[in-house]
Amino acid sequence: MDDKNNEKLLDRIEYYMEYPADEEKIDMMFSTGEKNILRTIREFEKIRYEMKWKNEKPVSKEDNAKFIEEVFRNKEKERDISFQLKKEFTDWIDVLLEQGRIEAWLDILTWYRLLKGKNLIVDKFWEFPVLETMLKAFIEELKCFYSSGSSVSLLTVHSLEELTDVYFHLVFLLRRVEYELEPADEILDYLIEKKISLTVTDVVLDDARIFDEEKVRRTIIGWVENGNERT
């Protein structure tokens, strides 16, 4: 366990990529959950390599039909391993979120970036675009933490399910502001109840399908300022 803590995750992953056969050291460096993810990534990459994606643009109708067939055939080959990797990654996310620590969130960020960089699964399951937005929100909160000492509100979220729930609640409440569905200011109660910061809200507003972001932003700031004036 000390070996795992002493080296940053990224350094450990880099070691694994370079020396995958060094099982003894890898065993000391990674937890079971992490090892599962890494092994599945290697397996996935082997499958991709064997498929030998041809990146040729189809020029004729026949070529196009063959191209489409190949795309779907390759997709089918990736199905089982995609679901396996998804489960391993989301299970590990839950373990990390349960810790409620900044370092754990940084680990999630590292894993997510690794998968995204390798073009694995993050565009296949709806949880991951949500996770990406919330990771952006975490980074913004971390900046505020370092600059002004404000708390990182996302540390209070302890599972991926809860994280996606918070995300969609925020999106829906923000959209109600946009379309003036009453009670439009319910979002303020939600933020207080869930202890979620305006920083997180701002990031979600940027990423979500809200057309009139400025209107929503103006409205919420107005409420907050009115609330501050009254107190």
Partner 1 sequence: MNEHKICFIICVNNNLFFEECVRYIHRLEVPDGVEVELLEIKGASSMTGGYNEGMHNSNAKYKVYMHQDAFLVNKYFISDIISIFQSDRNIGMIGLVGIQKLPESGLMWSGERVPGVYELEEGWERYRYDRKRDGLWEVEGIDGVLMATQYDIPWREDLFDGWDFYDLSQSFEMRKRGYRIVVPVHKQFWHQHDDKPVLSMWDYDKYRKRFIKEYFEK
* Binding residues vs partner 1 (CB under 8 A): 61, 64-65, 68, 72, 75-76, 79, 123-126, 128-130, 165, 168-169, 171-172, 175-176, 179, 181, 209, 211-212
- Residue 103 or 212 having the CB closest to partner 1: 212
Backbone angles phi, psi at 57, to 5 degrees: -75, 130
Q: Least distance in Å: CB of 118 to partner 1?
A: 16
Q: Least distance in Å: CB of 216 to partner 1?
A: 13
- Residue 14 or 212 having the CB closest to partner 1: 212
Q: Least distance in Å: CB of 100 to partner 1?
A: 24
- Sign of the dihedral defined by the CA atoms of residues 116, 120, 124, 130, in that order: negative
Q: Least distance in Å: CB of 37 to partner 1?
A: 20
- Residue 94 or 186 having the CB closest to partner 1: 186
20-21-22 Cα angle (round to 5): 95
Q: Least distance in Å: CB of 126 to partner 1?
A: 4
Instruction: Tell me whether residue 134 is exposed, middle or buried, using C-beta atoms within 10 angstroms of its C-beta: 0 to 12, 13 to 18, 19 or more.
Output: buried
Q: Which of 152, 153, 216, 215 is nearest to 187 (CA)?
A: 216
- Residue 209 or 230 having the CB closest to partner 1: 209
- Residue 17 or 68 having the CB closest to partner 1: 68
Q: Least distance in Å: CB of 77 to partner 1?
A: 12
- Residue 34 or 82 having the CB closest to partner 1: 82
Q: Least distance in Å: CB of 24 to partner 1?
A: 38
- Residue 27 or 123 having the CB closest to partner 1: 123
